[in-house]
Amino acid sequence: MMPLRVQDLRVQLDSGKAVVADIHFELNPGEILGLVGESGSGKTTLATALLGHVRKGARISGGQVLVAGTDLLGLQGEALRQARGGVIAYIPQDPAMALNPALRILGQLQETLAAHAPQLSREARQQRLRDTLQQVGLPDDQGFLRRFAHQLSGGQQQRVLLALAFILRPQVVVLDEPTTALDVTTQAHFLAALRQLCKTQGVAAVYVSHDLGVVESLADRVMVLYAGRVVECAETAQLFRQPQHPYSQRLLAAARLAARPLEDLSQQPLLLEVDELAVSYAGRRVVAGVNLHVRRGECLAVVGASGSGKSSVSRALVGLAQEAAGRLRFAGAPLSLAVGARSSEQRRRIQYIFQNPLRALNPRHTVAQSLATPLRHFFGLSGAALRERIELALTRVALPVAIADAYPGSLSGGERQRVAIARALVCEPRLLICDEITSALDVSVQASILELLRGLQAEGMALVFVTHDLNVVRAIADRVMTLE
């Protein structure tokens, strides 16, 4: 019996518009299907619909999702709750949001076993727990298990989600961009663990991603989604070697980022100077002895493994580190390490774009309201002039003007990140601190954002660009700083 068979699945909004339609596919035991497409194509909507769940304002209006022969869409209440996690598991994009911050890691694993496998004896549960932790590459000692989620690195958090998904031995696992925020080394370890688990346990997987390199290395087959419809589905090697549909061809072409031609910027004035920067958390030194400079129009890429201090450096530069020391100068003037002590002009001219736009954007504010706040504060705009600047900002980051009245929760991950970028750009900064800002973007939108940033560099804007994606580094950086 096939672990997963999807027949004529359809999801539509309350308005009647279909956002996902005519979805047909099936998976064999141990098979991994890569699901790709641009931001807003319906990837996450399809992924969650496989578990019988859709966001507010939408509904599953037709089709079947057969998991081990049982139609998940026909289940309700306790039966559906037992199926989710028991026979089909889900690994979301952001482990920090998915893990319970009030429970230790051991408690979360035990809670899952108690809810879905009460028939197991205490000894069997303990053995299952140890085996699963070993399979995902996590320690099983009490020192680790007694930690809370915030005490783990991003890679460890994502492996905990992998353990929570596989500890119940499901038939199917659905993964929604699980490696987006991981550096290349941690990402490789995660993908190797996933591949091994699927193979040894015979688990079928649907892997949603905008990273075509990851999909090519991991998936057995690839399904390309465009505007909620499947435009192509083929064996991985075949699709990457010879894509048939024009959209698939454009998607693959966009993934091949061209290297940035190097320019001699040595005559440009220094914009940011940093001497002996150090950052601590609760008295523990996490960054020490960092020296760097950035010239007008230059992009400095900051790379390193998970936990190397990349984000700590970027937060210190923008004045958000609680315990920081060192000397900073911006445009020739001293720059305080505390954002509250900086002048209004310095705060406007140095903008920070966060890695996670879902946390950075106010969920109660529309896109227009989020963009209007800095425009009112720094420039005193209102009325028609304010609306015109908002529309211009959205156009610059390849967003439709109609999105201005939407809330962050109704946008895709890529759309939210572009709104966050637009909010920074409306301040007309001279220096952008970018913390993994392209990690949630599909390749076509990523290419357009990088092209936008290159254009801003040509106008004299400087960038400090934190990333784990070496292809992005090659496409945008003038110099690279590696942290360890």
Domain locations in the chain as residue ranges: 4-255, 270-483
- Lookup: tokens for 143: 């020192």
Q: Is the pLDDT of residue 336 over 70?
A: yes
Interstrand relation of 204-208 and 172-176 (parallel, antiparallel or unpaired): parallel
Checking DSSP bridges between strand 431-435 and strand 462-466, what pairing results, if any? Answer: parallel
Cβ atoms within 10 Å of 397's Cβ, excluding its own: 20
Q: Cβ distance 46 to 11 under 8 Å?
A: yes
Cβ atoms of 422 and 397 within 8 Å: the answer is yes
CATH architecture of 4-255: 3-Layer(aba) Sandwich (3.40)
Of 10, 213, 203, the closest CA to residue 88 belongs to 203
- The pLDDT assigned to 172 comes to 97
Stronger pLDDT, 475 or 382, i.e. the higher one? 382
What's the average model confidence in pLDDT over 223-240?
96
Q: Can you list the positions of beta strands (E) in 257-370? A: 270-281, 284-295, 299-304, 323-330, 333-334, 350-353
The Cβ of residue 366 has, within 10 Å, a number of other Cβ atoms equal to 16
Indicate whether 94 pLDDT > 90: no
Give the residue carrying structure tokens 């439709």: 400
Is the pLDDT at 468 greater than 90, yes or no? no
Q: Name which of 100-109, 179-188, 345-354, 361-370 the model is least confident about.
A: 179-188
pLDDT confidence bin for 259, thresholds 50/70/90:
low
Average of pLDDT values for 371-377?
A: 97
The pLDDT of residue 255 is above 90: no
- CATH number among 3.40.50.150, 3.40.50.300, 3.40.30.10, 3.40.120.10, domain 270-483: 3.40.50.300
Residue 258 is predicted with a pLDDT of 64
In whole angstroms, give the CA distance from residue 407 to residue 363. Answer: 6
pLDDT score recorded for residue 270: 95
Best CA proximity match to 460, nearest among 481, 432, 435, 479: 432
Q: Are 251 and 38 in contact (CB under 8 A)?
A: yes
Q: Is the pLDDT reported for residue 99 higher than 80?
A: yes
For 3, half-sphere exposure in the C-beta direction (CA atoms, 13 angstrom radius) is: 26
Q: One fold for both 4-255 and 270-483?
A: yes
- Neighbouring CB atoms inside 10 A of 200's CB total 11
At 393-417, the pLDDT tens digits run: 999 888 999 999 999 988 877 788 8
Confidence of residue 179 (pLDDT cuts 50, 70, 90): confident
Q: Which helix (H) or strand (E) holds 201?
A: helix 184-201
pLDDT of residue 61: 94
pLDDT at position 450 is 87
Check whether 445 has a pLDDT greater than 80.
Answer: no
Task: Read off the pLDDT of each residue in 96-115 and give the average, rounded to a whole number.
Answer: 93
State the pLDDT at residue 12.
Answer: 95
Q: What are phi and psi of 307, to 5 degrees?
A: 85, 5
As a whole number, mean pLDDT of residues 110-131 equals 93
